Amino acid sequence: MRIVALVPGKIGDQILFFPTLDNLKRVYPDAQIDVVVEPSSKAAYRVCKSVTDAIAFDFKDRNSLADWGNLIGLLRDREYDIAISPQSQFLLNLLLWLTGIPTRVGYKGNGSFFLTDTVLLKSQQQPAARYHDLLQGLGKNSPVSPLNINVPSSDITWSEKEQQRLGINESGYVAVYDSQSPDVDSTYPVTFWQQIVKSLQEKQPNIPVVVIKDANNELFVKSMLTFFPNLKVMFPTDVGKLAAAIASANLLICTDSAPMYLALAVQTYTVALVETSQTLQSEVFIVVTSPTGKIADISPQSIMQRIWGQ
C-alpha cells in the first residue's frame, strides 16, 4: 500500500502532523508513507520515523499550470492508494481528484466534494488532535499518539560533544532562541532578551545560558554577544541536531518557531513567547501571550515571573 499526505506549512505544522503519520504506520505497517511539503519544511522529516519520502513542492508560490501538472503527474506515477489532506483548500482537493487516487480523505468544507471521505473540522481542538481526526475518514478511531520525534543517534552525539566544547557540566543549561523574523510583530526586542538573560545569570549563576543560532538569526546572536561576550552559542545545522540540543536543555525560552514545537515533542520545559493564544498544551509548556498581538509588547517582567514563579 502507498499513502501520500499533502501538508503545506512550516516545520511546526509538520511536527504536529507526526502523530497522524505514526498512527497510519501502526495501522498499515507495510505501507509506504510519503508527504508533499514546502521545500523549507522538508528538513523536519529527518526526525520522523514513519515517512519514506518527503517531496518538496512550494504551495505558497505562484505556481503555473505546468507546475501543478508536474505534481499531479508525479502523484499519478507513484500509484498511491490513499491521499490525505489536512488543509481545507479547494485547489488541493481538486488536485487530489485529478490524481485519480482511489481514496481521498480531508475535512468537510471548501471543495470537499472532490474527496471520497470527509471528517468534521474541529477548530477548537489542539492541532495534533485535529489532524488525527482525519484517520476517521479511513474508519480508524484510535486515540491520538503523544507528540514524538526520532532524533538520530549521530545528532545526540553531536549535542553531547557541543556541551563538552562549551564546558557545560551536569548542571545543564538554559537555551534561548529567537527567529528574528522580518515581520516586526514576530520579533522580540534584543534589549528585552538582555534583561531576561541577565536575570537568569543573576539567579542561577551556575547554569549557563546557550543561544541557539541558525541561518536566520545571526544578527540576534551577534547583538546578544555584544552585551554578553561570554555567552555560549550552539549552531545546529539541521533539525535533528536542533532537537538534540533542545532535548538536553533544562529550559528553553523562545518565540513561536520550529524550536518551540521540537521542545514540545521532546518534553523540554519551555516558556514560549507568542502573539496570540495557542491551543498547544503540555505540563512542561508555558505560553506567554502578547496583550496586543505584537510580541514586542510582552514585558520581560511577565516572562521572568513565569520562569521564577514570582
**Best CA proximity match to 205, nearest among 165, 171, 234, 235:** 171
CATH class of domain segment(s) 153-308:
alpha beta
Question: Which residue intervals of the chain bear CATH 3.40.50.2000?
Answer: 2-138, 153-308
57-90 residue pLDDT tens: 998 777 788 999 999 999 999 999 999 999 888 9
- pLDDT given at position 65: 86
d(CA 72, CA 49): 26
d(CA 190, CA 231): 14
CATH class of domain segment(s) 2-138:
alpha beta
41-53 residue pLDDT tens: 999 999 999 999 9
| Average pLDDT for the chain | 91
196-242 residue pLDDT tens: 999 999 999 999 999 999 988 998 999 999 999 989 999 999 999 99
pLDDT category of residue 310 using cuts at 50, 70 and 90: low
d(CA 146, CA 19): 7
pLDDT at 115 over 60: yes
239-274 residue pLDDT tens: 999 999 999 999 999 998 899 999 999 999 999 998
pLDDT at 15 over 90: yes
Q: What is the pTM of this model?
A: 0.89
Query: In this prediction, what percent of the chain has a pLDDT beyond 70?
Result: 96
pLDDT category of residue 186 using cuts at 50, 70 and 90: low
For the chain, what percentages of helix, strand and coil (3-state, to nearest 5) are there?
45, 15, 40
Report the run of H or E that residue 21 belongs to, with start and end.
helix 11-27
d(CA 32, CA 47): 17
- pLDDT given at position 153: 96
